[in-house]
A and B are shown apart, each in its own frame.
Chain A
Amino acid sequence: MIEVQATGSLTSVQDLGRVGYASWGIAGGGAADRGSLRLANRLVGNGEGSAAFEVLLGGAALLFRQAALIAVTGAPTPLLIDGAHGSCDSPQRVPAGAVVELLPPSQQLRSYLAVRGGLATEPILGSRSVDERAGLGRPLRVGDVVAVGSDAVAAPLVDVAPRRAWPRGALALRAVRGPRDDWFTAASLARFESEPYIVDAASDRVGVRLSGPPLDRRVQRELLSEPTLRGAVEVPPDGMPIIFAADHPTTCGYPVLAVLEPESADLAAQCRPGQSVTFTLSRPRIRVPAQSEGARS
């Protein structure tokens, strides 16, 4: 068992989220930075999708009532195990009765602490991920006790994983153009690809809001609500793009200009307010016109 002694600003249990509940209004959810969750699980020999702690900006303290093997990935947080410095991106032994503290990281937002065996909270709709927006579960509070499961699938073979590089300046994000890029002016598309955008403070697990050169629409009619995914770049009428994050709405009524590659969606979820980002767009592989239109042309 693990007892929560401090949570910092937000600590929650996350795995790789839910599949198949979009028609109930429930998004995929799960770890905001999926790559870091997977890595933490691999380092302790869990299946990649085991549940772990997601800690926003450090400040969490966890009392381990049992000995455990842990790994901390994502935002590089100074790590204390019973007061002694531990290492991120590496399996670490925790003796029974030890307190593990995550201090505020020097960069990025969210750290992932995986425990060998996984966290065994009660699953809801096939996942242990907390989704506050959908009302599924709640973040951890001081005094909560979390059980360790039996999800280990392999011996932990890797001693240390290379840390993901984080740039000093603008962060480059890769995206596929569309599906509604044709709703925007050519000048706006050119601006989106050439000028940096700044991450706004009003960003969370639902969306990463950006400010920068406004994106103007060429098509003014209303969009019939469309399904959407993590990484979609939606542009509301004010022209300031929003990147949908893990707990995004399941449908959106504004056009999506581009959709981030999964690895870039992970990076976007780690951006602090004030971070500068740039976009590189690749061409969509599929753009099949309606079959009746095709017959006419």
Chain B
Amino acid sequence: MTQRAGSIRSYGSTALLVETDSAVTAVALRARLDAQPPRGVIETMPGLHTVLVRFDPAVTDAERLAAAVSSIEIDPDDLGAAAAEVQDEVSVRVDYSGADLADVAEHSGLTVEQVIDAHQARSYRVLFIGMAPGFYFLAGGDPRLNPPRRSSPRTSVPKGAVGLAGELTGIYPRSGPGGWQLIGTVVDDLWDPTRLPAALLAPGTSVRFTSTG
């Protein structure tokens, strides 16, 4: 079933921030805008439940673009060419020994073993890479895993840490501060800035987490 964009707000004088009701709808809206860009669009940028649309004010204006965006019928099943190209599911090996496993288990009403099983049971999809270069945002896992971020971020999380925040799984590219609930660490290096584009998991890739045990 198709749906429409949510609220649309000016983002300065050269962009619009468009809200959607889910991460998948945001991916679908962005795919649609990239496939058939309204006149004057320079680029689209991904957020979790948002898409930022940059435009050239010499070619279009905010009112015309907002009208074009709000008329789009978004098909959440059509995630676009990028997703269609990436057919193969990639297996990502995780050492499930994160510092917040017990907290995640308590929040979700599961045992630690059940949390680890649930994290591997369903396929995730790479939404985009953001925040820091190399930070992967993935969605689509078991809905029982939905912990809040830590009330106080850690000053340092290990390189390759796998964290949960709400419905999302994130993978940290390098050691640094972070507020997600850590459940493990990836075994392989998924971010190599000397390789371009420097992401080993492209946006749209299906990912299945597997245990090293």
Contact of A286 with B196 in the complex, beta carbons under 8 Å: no
Which residues from B are CB-within-8-Å of A162?
none
Q: List residues of B (86-106) whose CB comes within 8 Å of A's CBs.
A: none
Which residues from A are CB-within-8-Å of B130?
22-23, 25, 225, 227, 249-251
Contact of A291 with B70 in the complex, beta carbons under 8 Å: yes
- Nearest CB of chain A from residue B65's CB, rounded to whole Å: 8
Contact of B47 with A226 in the complex, beta carbons under 8 Å: yes
The dominant DSSP class at the A interface is loop
Residue of A25, A229, A262 with most partner-chain B CB within 10 A: A25
From B12, B50, B135, B199, A259 is in contact (CB under 8 Å) with B12
- Nearest CB of chain A from residue B67's CB, rounded to whole Å: 9
- Nearest CB of chain B from residue A20's CB, rounded to whole Å: 5
- In the bound complex, CA of A284 to CA of B17 (Å): 12
At the interface, yes or no: A19 with Cβ under 8 Å from chain B? yes
From A19, A229, A262, A293, B52 is in contact (CB under 8 Å) with A229
Contact of A224 with B133 in the complex, beta carbons under 8 Å: no
Interface membership of chain B positions 61-88, coded 1 if the CB is closer than 8 angstroms to chain A and 0 otherwise: 1110010001000000000000000000
Contact of B148 with A222 in the complex, beta carbons under 8 Å: yes
- In the bound complex, CA of A175 to CA of B11 (Å): 10
Contact of B196 with A23 in the complex, beta carbons under 8 Å: no
Residue of B46, B47, B66, B193 with most partner-chain A CB within 10 A: B47
At the interface, yes or no: B172 with Cβ under 8 Å from chain A? no
- In the bound complex, CA of A286 to CA of B134 (Å): 33
Contact of B203 with A227 in the complex, beta carbons under 8 Å: no
- Nearest CB of chain A from residue B33's CB, rounded to whole Å: 12
Q: A24-B198, A225-B137 are in contact. List 7 more A-B contacts (CB 8 A).
A: A224-B48, A224-B166, A226-B50, A227-B50, A229-B52, A250-B129, A251-B47
List B residues at the A interface (Cβ < 8 Å): 4-17, 19, 42-52, 54, 61-63, 66, 70, 128-135, 137, 148-149, 166, 193-194, 196-199, 203
The 7 A-B pairs with the shortest beta carbon distances in the complex, nearest first, are A135-B193, A259-B12, A284-B10, A251-B130, A227-B45, A25-B129, A22-B45
Could you jot down 30 A-B contacts, CB within 8 Å?
Answer: A22-B44, A23-B46, A23-B129, A23-B203, A24-B128, A25-B129, A25-B130, A25-B131, A25-B132, A134-B133, A136-B193, A178-B11, A224-B49, A225-B47, A225-B48, A227-B130, A232-B12, A250-B131, A252-B131, A253-B131, A259-B15, A260-B12, A261-B12, A285-B63, A286-B16, A287-B8, A287-B10, A288-B9, A291-B70, A293-B7
